Amino acid sequence: MSSSRSIWPLVAVGALIGAGALATAVGVFGPASEPARPLTLYYADAQGMVLVPVTASLAAPRDPAAWAQAVFERLRKPTDAKLAPPVPADAKLIETAWAAPLWTLGVQLAKPPGSTDERLLVGALVRTFTAGWPGAREVRLKLLDAQGRPLASQHLDLSAPLTVADVANTLDTGPTGSGVKSTLWWPSKDGGTLVPVQIALTGGTGIPPRDAFERLVAGPPAEAGSFLTAVAPQGLQAGWASLDDGVARIDLAGALPDGEPASRFIEATVLTLTEFPDVRAVQFLHGGRPIDRAVGPFKLSGPVARPAGAAAPEATSGRSATP
Partner 1 sequence: MRFDPLSLLIRAGLALALPAVVVAAPAQRAEAAPVVAVEGVSWDADRQAYVVKASGELAPRVQRLESPARLVIDLPNAKLVPAYQALEGAPNSGISRVRVGQFQANTTRVVLDLVRSIQVGVEAGGHEVVITPPRSAGTDAAAPASASVVTTPTIRAIRHRNGDFAILMSQRAAYWSHVRPGNGQPVRYLLVFPNTKLAPGAQGTVPIGVHGVHRVTATQAGSEARVEFELSKAPTFEVQAGPQGWRFLADRAPLNASAISAPRPVAKPTPRMALATPLPRPSRKPAERLTTRPRTPKVAAPDAGRPAAARPEAAAWTGAPDAPLALRKIDGHWQMLLTADDRFRFTTTPIGDDRLRVDIAGGKVSLPRDSVYIDNGLIARVRVNSQTGDTTRLTIDLDQPVRHTARLLGNQRSLLLGFHRVGKERITLDPGHGGSDHGTTGQKGTREKDVTLAIATRLARMMEAGGMSVQMTRMKDLEILLRPRVEMANRADSDVFVSIHANSFGNQHGVNGIETYYFSDDSYPLAKSIHKSLLRNLGRPDRGVRKNNFYVVHHTKMPAALIEIGYLSNAEEEALLSSPAYQERAAQAIYTGIREFMAARKAQH
Contacts with partner 1, residue ranges (CB under 8 A): 44, 46-49, 84-85, 88-89, 101, 111-117, 119-120, 137-138, 152-157, 159-163, 165-166, 168, 171-176, 198, 222-227
CB of 245 to partner 1, least distance (A): 28
| Letter string b/e over residues 220-255, b meaning 16 or more CB atoms within 10 A of that residue's CB | bbeebeebbebbbbeebebebbebeeebbbbbbeee
CB of 232 to partner 1, least distance (A): 22
CB of 71 to partner 1, least distance (A): 18
CA distance 104 to 106: 7
Contact 110, 136 (CB under 8 A): no
CB of 201 to partner 1, least distance (A): 16
Q: List all residues 6 or more positions away from 285 whose beta carbon is below 8 Å from its beta carbon.
A: 241, 249, 250, 251, 252, 291
Looking at the Cβ atoms of 10 and 89, the one nearer to partner 1 is 89
Looking at the Cβ atoms of 113 and 313, the one nearer to partner 1 is 113
CB of 40 to partner 1, least distance (A): 21
Nearest C-alpha neighbor of 228 from the set 201, 263, 197, 270: 197
- Using DSSP, state whether 71 is helix, strand or coil: helix
